[in-house]
A and B are shown apart, each in its own frame.
Chain A
Amino acid sequence: MAFTAPKESYAGKVYSVTIGTGDKAATIGGENVLSFHSFEGETPNRPLVAFEIQDVPPTDWPENVRKVFDGVSDDPVKWAKYCQDELKAKAIALRLVGTHPDRENRSAEDAAKTVREVLAAISVPLIILGSNHAEKDSSVLIAAAEAAKDKNCIIGKAQEANYKTIAAAAMANNHKLIAMSELDINLSKQLNILITQMGFDKERIITDPMCSALGYGLEYTYSVMERIRLAALTQNDQTMQQPLLADVGMYVWKVKESQAPESDLPQWGAAEERGILWEAETATALLIAGAELLIMRHPRAAAAVESVIEELV
């Protein structure tokens, strides 16, 4: 029995999405095969790792990831420049978590000012994220989208409860949009349909099927991503051909395994390495499942993920 390689070719293709402007602009997606399956099709673009920063100091981040940014994280502009210039970030994700009513409750105007200042300081693409408070995000992200007009940012996250205002703001100011739903392929599809029905270009959406950390539901995110990607490729389903986002850092750095000191749990080993690996491994698994855009916190985790991507492309 002679071996013939059972290669697959698919009808569908993931949209290519370019973010940012000038020579630092980045493109993700564009493949017509599963992740890293370059042996049977086109994989024109590498996945992109964006470094997460915040509009307020990261007091809620665990010590092992917070301390890396001591001295810069008190100011989003310094923080962004540090990521771009010292850590060689290829994209920055600015989370406006300080606008949350239970946090500093910063105003939409304050948030817009931060966005303007960060944009003035960096040349790599910017992702602008709200605080995940559906109501407040509507006003904050409108102001942020205007402040970033024509900079070709990604604005997010539009959810079922607030997608109209956020999508309209992204459209009016020429941005890309993150559409997020909660771990359900059908909800994800439906939200993409609702957004495109507003006249928003389907090729300007990034799908966030909701991230989960290793050990805390990672398999759900993994399988939802894999199913979305298979629907895009095998069924040529245009409502599921958007690049996928894995918002990794935020989910990883709140689980016990990423922060419990070794003195409390000696059987878990060195806490710092454990936290870094927890983030990098969550990211790697989701890359395999289909993610093209990752948002990460720890520079060593991001660097390790870049190394494994290097081996995979």
Chain B
Amino acid sequence: MALSGVEIFKLLPKTNCKKCGQPTCLAFAMKLAQRQATLDLCPDVSEEAKQKLGEASAPPVRPITLGSGDKAVKMGEETVLFRHDKKFVNPCVFALEVKDTLSEADIAAFCNQVVDSEMDRVGQKLRVNAIMISNESGDAAKLEAAAKTVAAKAAGVPVIINTTNAQAAETAVKLFADKKPLLFGANASNLEAMAAVAKSNKASLGISAASLEELSELTEKAKGFGVEDLVLDSGARKAKDMIEHNTLVRRAAIKKNFKPLGFPVISFAQRGDSLLEALVASVCIAKYSSIVVLSSIEKWKNLALFTLRQNIYTDPQVPMQVEQKIYNIGDPKADAPLFVTTNFSLTYFIVSGEIENSKVSCRLAVMDSEGLSVLTAWAAGKFTATKIAAFIQESGIDKEMATKELIIPGYVAILSGSIEEKLPGWKITVGPREANAIPAFLKSRA
């Protein structure tokens, strides 16, 4: 349970020596309770207090890293249940399942798909993050062979070893011993042996149970065996049960600071139909899964899943406005077209995205309209001929342009005459109404 400020205060030296930067021990205790300070700032705190407070002040969902090097991914550390309260912290991991019953060539092909899955979307590099190697065959030698293929063909990609057989686990996990793999498949009957394998190979341990009660007991036992980096599987396989279990796990961790469930959750979205699989994965993305296991990673599916993950994990507190200025898209030369639009972030994002898609270098003048879209800003008197003209004039952009031409949004075609009057020497062109017509519009001018 989280400690209150007063409970923390009781554990502090109560000397009010101010070395922590706070005027009193009580003030420092309050800061700790609100997670605005860390205990190491007080040099005089006792060992006993450290232990008690350390436990209470640890993040409610334990941070765990999967993999090593530049493809390592962080999981956990979440602090809220709803994204409008605060940014969701560590985007979920997508893992492709590769079964050891497949031929070496098929496994290699899957590895290539994972390696090639990386794409760029609004400045972020997105990819399928991990490979789960499943011991479908039940044969330790086959698991090891599959793991070797993955290690060779998808070097650097974080790995999850999925088996309930501790001996098979040992040989496979060893191949990734210094690479922070996840060993998945511990349960009530094999926990001690699996924990030993995880511990000796510095792997995280994924624990399966039939209920959240059982899962809570098993994580405590695993800690007793010396493994702290755990991943939870409550046994939920239907989307309905995933919502229930994931919600209860997240609430228990965050609202009750219930340590036995304060770990990232793994969810299995594999379905016979790829489209349905993508939708189940979407439920997992929205509802708190830290690892989503997939059975196929077609490009169209990756794009949609990457995009949803990005949408759900964006910072809700970033205002819906962008800065007023003239943005360069591509590498605009003197003859590059100049568009003007409002500073509603969605408007900016969509218009700049379409200009990018057209592959024509342009300038985009984004005018402060208090975050309103074009039509709303125009109706509210924030996107008027006078204001547009003043903005363009003051920007001095004409010095960089061969011909003074300004393209205005089709929705405010009505303004073209009066802008022309207020911007002597400029030609005003009416562009498309909807941004998706911009590529065709630019093509028709070329």
Binding site for B on A (CB under 8 A): 1-3, 5-8, 36-39, 182, 212, 214-220, 222-223, 226-227, 230, 254-257, 260, 267-271, 273-274, 276-278, 280-281, 284-285, 288-289, 300, 304-305, 307-308, 311-313
* Alpha-carbon gap, A147 to B318, bound state (A): 46
Chain B residues with CB below 8 A from A289, complex form: 286
The answer to whether B255 has its CB under 8 Å from any CB of chain A is yes
Selected contact of A220 from candidates B256, B275, B346, CB within 8 Å: B346
Find out whether the CB atom of B239 lies under 8 angstroms from the CB atom of A311.
Answer: yes
Most-contacted residue by chain A among B259, B300, B305 (CB, 10 A): B300
Chain B residues with CB below 8 A from A273, complex form: 274-275, 298, 300-301
Chain B residues with CB below 8 A from A220, complex form: 320, 346
User: Known interface pairs A6-B248, A219-B312, A307-B276. Does A256 touch B436 (Cβ–Cβ under 8 Å)?
Assistant: yes
Chain A residues with CB below 8 A from B287, complex form: 288
* Alpha-carbon gap, A278 to B282, bound state (A): 11
Q: How many A-B residue pairs have CB under 8 A?
A: 160
* Alpha-carbon gap, A86 to B13, bound state (A): 76
Find out whether the CB atom of B299 lies under 8 angstroms from the CB atom of A269.
Answer: yes
Nearest CB in chain A: distance from B221 CB, A: 12
Chain B residues with CB below 8 A from A217, complex form: 346, 349
Please report the total number of B residues contacting A with Cβ < 8 Å.
Answer: 61
Find out whether the CB atom of A276 lies under 8 angstroms from the CB atom of B275.
Answer: yes
Find out whether the CB atom of B280 lies under 8 angstroms from the CB atom of A6.
Answer: no
Chain A residues with CB below 8 A from B298, complex form: 269-270, 273
**Interface membership of chain B positions 409-437, coded 1 if the CB is closer than 8 angstroms to chain A and 0 otherwise:** 00000000000000000000000001010
The answer to whether B66 has its CB under 8 Å from any CB of chain A is no
* Alpha-carbon gap, A278 to B305, bound state (A): 9
Find out whether the CB atom of B376 lies under 8 angstroms from the CB atom of A182.
Answer: yes
Chain A residues with CB below 8 A from B275, complex form: 273, 276-277, 280, 300, 304
The answer to whether B324 has its CB under 8 Å from any CB of chain A is no
Find out whether the CB atom of B243 lies under 8 angstroms from the CB atom of A37.
Answer: yes
**Interface membership of chain B positions 284-322, coded 1 if the CB is closer than 8 angstroms to chain A and 0 otherwise:** 001100000000001111111101101110101000100
* Alpha-carbon gap, A54 to B310, bound state (A): 33
Chain B residues with CB below 8 A from A216, complex form: 346, 349-350
Chain A residues with CB below 8 A from B314, complex form: 219
Chain A residues with CB below 8 A from B311, complex form: 214-215, 218-219, 222, 285
Nearest CB in chain A: distance from B112 CB, A: 15
The answer to whether B53 has its CB under 8 Å from any CB of chain A is no
Find out whether the CB atom of A256 lies under 8 angstroms from the CB atom of B303.
Answer: no
Selected contact of B243 from candidates A256, A307, A312, CB within 8 Å: A312
Nearest CB in chain A: distance from B126 CB, A: 11
Give me 20 other A-B pairs in contact (C-beta within 8 A), A1-B216, A215-B307, A312-B239 excluded: A3-B252, A3-B258, A6-B248, A6-B252, A6-B255, A6-B258, A217-B346, A218-B308, A222-B286, A222-B311, A223-B82, A254-B436, A256-B436, A269-B298, A270-B298, A270-B300, A271-B300, A281-B278, A284-B283, A285-B308
Chain A residues with CB below 8 A from B312, complex form: 219, 222, 285
Across the interface, name the chain A residue whose C-beta is closest to B253.
A6
Selected contact of A269 from candidates B212, B300, B307, CB within 8 Å: B300
Chain A residues with CB below 8 A from B46, complex form: none
The answer to whether B220 has its CB under 8 Å from any CB of chain A is yes
The answer to whether B84 has its CB under 8 Å from any CB of chain A is yes
Find out whether the CB atom of A269 lies under 8 angstroms from the CB atom of B301.
Answer: yes
Nearest CB in chain B: distance from A173 CB, A: 30
**Interface membership of chain B positions 64-107, coded 1 if the CB is closer than 8 angstroms to chain A and 0 otherwise:** 00000000000000000011100000000000000000000000
**Interface membership of chain B positions 351-378, coded 1 if the CB is closer than 8 angstroms to chain A and 0 otherwise:** 0011001000000000000000000100
Find out whether the CB atom of A284 lies under 8 angstroms from the CB atom of B279.
Answer: yes
Nearest CB in chain A: distance from B211 CB, A: 9
Selected contact of A1 from candidates B215, B259, B434, CB within 8 Å: B259
Nearest CB in chain A: distance from B17 CB, A: 35
* Alpha-carbon gap, A267 to B280, bound state (A): 23
Across the interface, name the chain B residue whose C-beta is closest to A102.
B433
Across the interface, name the chain A residue whose C-beta is closest to B239.
A311
Chain B residues with CB below 8 A from A218, complex form: 308, 311
* Alpha-carbon gap, A257 to B357, bound state (A): 11
Find out whether the CB atom of A39 lies under 8 angstroms from the CB atom of B282.
Answer: no
